[in-house]
């Protein structure tokens, strides 16, 4: 299991991606439902300051400070730079938990900024923040995870497997390969809709999907299933995970999703049901 999450529009959203020990957003009940797994979290990326995305943070920090677990590990929190609401909230949490037994590090991030997750010779990964369209008053970010990979240099593409093996043996693998960064995951935060250029080359896309019926959307600040399905057609996405779904659709969600699934058969479609803990 790599992913665990809970999400219901207006109430709460949090998604934990265990391979990088990243929590995306921290809505209410995150510490209750993650239980002692809260100690595994290394990074928390907050997409914006709406209550349903940050209200579980205080409890999470308190749990991690007082429950039985390894308190030695640092916890890093990243949030959109200049967000006064989040800054006030974080300073309140630090005031009331002045005797924290672990290192709480807080970093404001901007559109385009990169956060290094690991930087060893074999394994380089970073998160890159990007601006998303949500509400007028709230600066909102999405996040990509990038991983360094290697591929065969263009000029060796026509060689046979034997010739490639021979070259690698005599000249070393760095001689025949070139490095590139692959987008392995994208988290949308809350948004009207992501841009195609942001998501067409990602492997796992978490996209908010508040509305399963376009007519229910009153303002242009949340996404609809119809628009998302159009957006992902013809992309390289392998897994699409929809979250932030309104509780009003709880009874018909499976039926609606089955209809859209047929339109994007090449993509694995998952959705986080409101009121149900999601695991993958």
According to CB under 5 A, which residues from 178 to 197 bind Zn ion?
190
Nearest of 16, 24, 3, 4 to residue 188 by alpha carbon:
24
Using the minimum distance from each CB to Zn ion, give the nearer residue, 146 or 192: 192
Using the minimum distance from each CB to Zn ion, give the nearer residue, 52 or 198: 52
Cross-sheet strand order for the sheet of 204-208: 114-119, 124-132, 140-152, 177-187, 204-208, 239-243, 268-271
Q: Locate tokens 């030695």: which residue?
A: 72
Residue 8 touches Zn ion, criterion: CB under 5 A: no
Using the minimum distance from each CB to Zn ion, give the nearer residue, 137 or 160: 137
φ/ψ region of 112 (left if φ > 0, alpha if ψ in -120 to 50, else beta) reads left
Least distance (Å) between residue 276 CB and Zn ion: 17
Say if strands 268-271 and 239-243 run parallel, antiparallel, or are unpaired: parallel
Nearest of 271, 280, 279, 277 to residue 33 by alpha carbon:
277
Using the minimum distance from each CB to Zn ion, give the nearer residue, 47 or 202: 47
Q: Out of 25, 52, 147, 198, which residue is the one contacting Zn ion (CB under 5 A)?
A: 52
Q: Out of 50, 64, 144, 273, which residue is the one contacting Zn ion (CB under 5 A)?
A: 50
- State the virtual CA torsion across 6, 227, 133, 58 in degrees, nearest 10: 0
Query: Contact region for Zn ion (CB under 5 A) — 44-52, 69-77, 83-91, 228-236?
Result: 44-52
Each residue 68-97 as x (binds Zn ion by CB under 5 A) or -, in order, gives ------------------------------
Using the minimum distance from each CB to Zn ion, give the nearer residue, 231 or 245: 245
CA separation for the pair 242, 122 (Å, rounded): 32
Give the binding site for Zn ion (CB under 5 A). Answer: 50, 52, 190
């Amino acid at each position: 299991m790599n992913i665990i999450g809970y999400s219901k529009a207006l109430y709460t959203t949090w998604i934990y991606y265990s391979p990088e020990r990243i929590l995306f957003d921290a809505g209410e009940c995150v510490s209750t439902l993650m239980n002692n797994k809260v100690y595994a979290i290394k990074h928390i990326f907050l997409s914006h300051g709406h209550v349903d995305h940050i209200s579980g943070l205080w409890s999470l920090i308190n749990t991690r400070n007082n429950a039985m677990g390894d308190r030695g590990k640092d916890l890093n929190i990243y949030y959109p730079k200049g967000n006064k609401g989040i800054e006030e909230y974080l300073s309140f949490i630090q005031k009331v938990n002045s005797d924290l037994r672990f290192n709480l590090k807080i970093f404001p991030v901007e559109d385009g900024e990169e956060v290094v997750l690991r930087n060893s010779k074999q394994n380089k990964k970073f998160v890159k923040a990007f601006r998303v369209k949500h509400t007028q008053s709230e600066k909102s970010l999405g996040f990509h995870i990038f991983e360094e990979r290697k591929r065969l240099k263009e000029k060796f593409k026509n060689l046979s497997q034997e010739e490639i093996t021979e070259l690698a043996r005599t000249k070393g693998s760095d001689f025949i390969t070139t490095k590139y960064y692959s987008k392995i995951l994208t988290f949308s935060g809350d948004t009207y809709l992501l841009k195609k250029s942001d998501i067409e080359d990602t492997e796992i896309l978490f996209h908010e999907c508040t509305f399963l019926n376009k007519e229910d959307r009153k303002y242009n600040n949340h996404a609809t299933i119809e628009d998302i399905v159009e957006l992902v057609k013809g992309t390289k996405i392998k897994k699409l995970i929809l979250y932030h779904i309104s509780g009003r659709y709880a009874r018909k969600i499976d039926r609606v999703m089955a209809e859209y699934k047929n339109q994007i058969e090449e993509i694995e479609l998952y959705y986080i049901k409101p009121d149900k803990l999601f695991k993958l």
